A and B are shown apart, each in its own frame.
Chain A
Amino acid sequence: MTTLVTPPTESEGTGEPRAMKKPRKVGRWILFGAMVIVAIVMLYPFWVMVITSLKSESQFLSGGGFSWLSWSSLTSVIPVGQEVLSSTILCSASIFIILCVGLPAGFAFSKLRFRSSTAVFLVIVSAMMVPLQAILMPEFVNVTKLHLTGGYTGAILVYAALGTPFSVFLFTTYFRGVPDELIEAGIVDGLGYFGAMWRLVLPIAVPAIATVTVLQFIQIWDDLLVGLLFIQNTSDRPITVGLAVLAAGRTTSIPGLMAGSIISALPAMLVYLGFQRYLVKGLTMGIDR
């Protein structure tokens, strides 16, 4: 008598062939190794910055030792508190204007039907492609004519003008993903378009708002050029300008400069880490649609 027996396959019982598991595991380790190398390359300068800031001038030159001197004497070298406050004012005011313009503009471009809306949107978004350096001098001439180069105002307007196209683009993309019916439901429920944006769309646009805020914060906080050019009152200059002035001095204390750089870098890093969750969501929106 002949009987037919089906031979057991490799995947039987496990649901996955054993041979395929090994390359996947090796691939993961290679990826992990590559990520570690990238992390070291990225973190090494920061590590050098921290270590150097914890030395005195002579310890830095000799290469050994530990001292809080550069931190304790930092405020006497540059007005760190005032400059951090200036940077905060510049960031807050610019981002406020960027959000105030970007949110309604994004809502209008995505949800309202009006003549030439696509053309206007493209013109605004194309401004994103113009580099800061290309328009810096015309901007400077305009702001000078308006006598706004002394304090914060000129720089805030320039930062707002530079950041608005990106925010319009991001909010438009985000709001396109919000169903029209949600807004129509609000309108039938008794809201106008502004009410629908304020009470229905804004609460669900937190990832987009966070994304714009974080990206603009990092850009404005870290910027040197606009602050250097448009803020001529020394008492109003931001931390990046303060550090640049310190670095350009005749006798530069490298440990002091590193301590100042850490203070300068820390807020942007904290804002990024705090909003990271929303940032990823905001930047990947639309991909999974």
Chain B
Amino acid sequence: MAEITFDGVTKIFGDDIRAVDDLSLHVADGEFMVLVGPSGCGKTTALRMLAGLEDITSGTLSIGGSVVNNVLPKDRDVAMVFQNYALYPHMTVAQNMGFALKVRGLSKAEVAKKVGEAAAILRLTDYLDRRPKALSGGQRQRVAMGRAIVRSPQAFLMDEPLSNLDAQLRVEMRLEIARIQRLLGVATVYVTHDQIEAMTMGDRVAVMRGGKLQQCDTPQDLYDHPRNEFVAGFMGSPPMNLLRGSLESNDSGLALVLGSQRLAVPSNYATSHQLPKVDGPGVVFGVRPEDIEVLEHSGSDSLSTKVERREALGAEILVHLALVDAVGNDAFVVNDSGAVVSRPTTLVAKMGPRSGVSVGDQLQVRLNPDHFHFFDTDSGLSLRRSS
């Protein structure tokens, strides 16, 4: 078991395609690290460099304190679980699981013992003589896990191992993988594009975009304190509502101007955040869907909205709310030059399944003032001062 360190690791394909750009990341011994991001963000390339399947253009990659930049995959002592499992189709489950041990020259008795132990952990004992094609998706996934854990490697590398499973099985296997990882206490790097997997499985989550690391934090910190607009918009389902507005100050205090509406901003944000000057270049305001509630009457901390769409999910409903101005027309959110920008002018709110909201309703909604987020309009970085 060992820790993993990416130190300024860069991968360039061809002449100028930077798949991974100056990645610095530390995975502690026994930690479950999830790399998450949209397609093409470089997460799988980072994992493949760690496995030794891709060369590193620059930077240093260490496993257990030893630099492995030029170490062959077989000598890195890492085990990898692939997206499509990559089980050897001509071998039985037992042969698949014991193959790496056989290659390393272990005796038949040792291989059988280790395979038996791993099969017991994964509840595969009854399937050891079957070929992969005679297994279900979930069983194949467990065999792929078994092939990894039987080696007792320094680190587990998992490349979207649940993406081929149906929704229900995915939930089960999510718990199973997390259970096994905690049982074995081996450092794990897990790649996924599914932020629910990232939030539920990882000790820490590293969000990537365009080859660059955006933020690495515990799931809750990532959710509560996104470092930039991208992380705010990527983590959470549905994601954080992001609206462009400007700040103004009047007798009753600080207010955020969204179209023709004003939303009171508690004074503590002036100290906890590095807010732009009043009447300055504006700000990107964020609020989570669960921090929006319907009010009976209007107030300084509420917005007038119109229900545009309603999505019933069973346990909750997602209500798409368009901002409306004082006379009831849809509000525009404009940029510094007065032009309409592409940023959404709608809010998505999570509401209870029995809240009688219908399309076309005019609603007065309150945004929870304890959970406001502010981002810089140019850089997209959070304006929250680091505590």
Task: Give B residues with C-beta under 8 Å from A.
Answer: 51-53, 73-74, 78-80, 82-84, 86, 88-90, 99-100, 103-104, 147
Q: Which of A179, A187, A200, A204 contacts B74 (CB 8 A)?
A: A187
Residues from chain B with Cβ under 8 Å of A192 in the complex: 74
- Contacts A184-B53, A185-B80; A191 near B103 (Cβ below 8 A): yes
Residues from chain A with Cβ under 8 Å of B51 in the complex: 184, 188
Instruction: Name the CB-closest residue of A to B48.
Output: A184
Structural contact, B82 and A185, CB atoms closer than 8 A: yes
How far, in whole Å, are A203 and B79 apart by their CA atoms in the complex?
Answer: 23
Structural contact, A190 and B88, CB atoms closer than 8 A: no
Tell me the A151-200 residues at the B interface (CB within 8 Å): 179, 181-182, 184-192, 195, 200
Residues from chain A with Cβ under 8 Å of B104 in the complex: 190
Structural contact, B86 and A181, CB atoms closer than 8 A: yes
How far, in whole Å, are A179 and B159 apart by their CA atoms in the complex?
Answer: 15
Q: Which of A179, A184, A189 contacts B103 (CB 8 A)?
A: A189
User: Which interface class (under 10, 10 to 19, 20 to 34, 35 or more) fits A?
Assistant: 10 to 19
A167 → B minimal CB distance (Å): 21
How far, in whole Å, are A195 and B86 apart by their CA atoms in the complex?
Answer: 16
Structural contact, B89 and A185, CB atoms closer than 8 A: no
A115 → B minimal CB distance (Å): 13
Instruction: Name the CB-closest residue of B to A195.
Output: B103
Residues from chain B with Cβ under 8 Å of A200 in the complex: 88
Structural contact, A188 and B103, CB atoms closer than 8 A: no
Q: Which of A188, A203, A204 contacts B80 (CB 8 A)?
A: A188
Residues from chain B with Cβ under 8 Å of A189 in the complex: 74, 99-100, 103, 147
- Contacts A190-B103, A190-B104; A184 near B74 (Cβ below 8 A): no
**A-B contact sample (16 more), CB < 8 A, given A189-B147, A204-B90:** A179-B84, A181-B86, A184-B80, A186-B99, A187-B74, A188-B74, A188-B79, A188-B80, A189-B74, A189-B103, A190-B74, A190-B100, A190-B104, A191-B103, A192-B74, A195-B103
Residues from chain B with Cβ under 8 Å of A203 in the complex: 90
How far, in whole Å, are A195 and B100 apart by their CA atoms in the complex?
Answer: 12
A182 → B minimal CB distance (Å): 5
How far, in whole Å, are A200 and B74 apart by their CA atoms in the complex?
Answer: 16
A205 → B minimal CB distance (Å): 10
Residues from chain B with Cβ under 8 Å of A187 in the complex: 52-53, 73-74
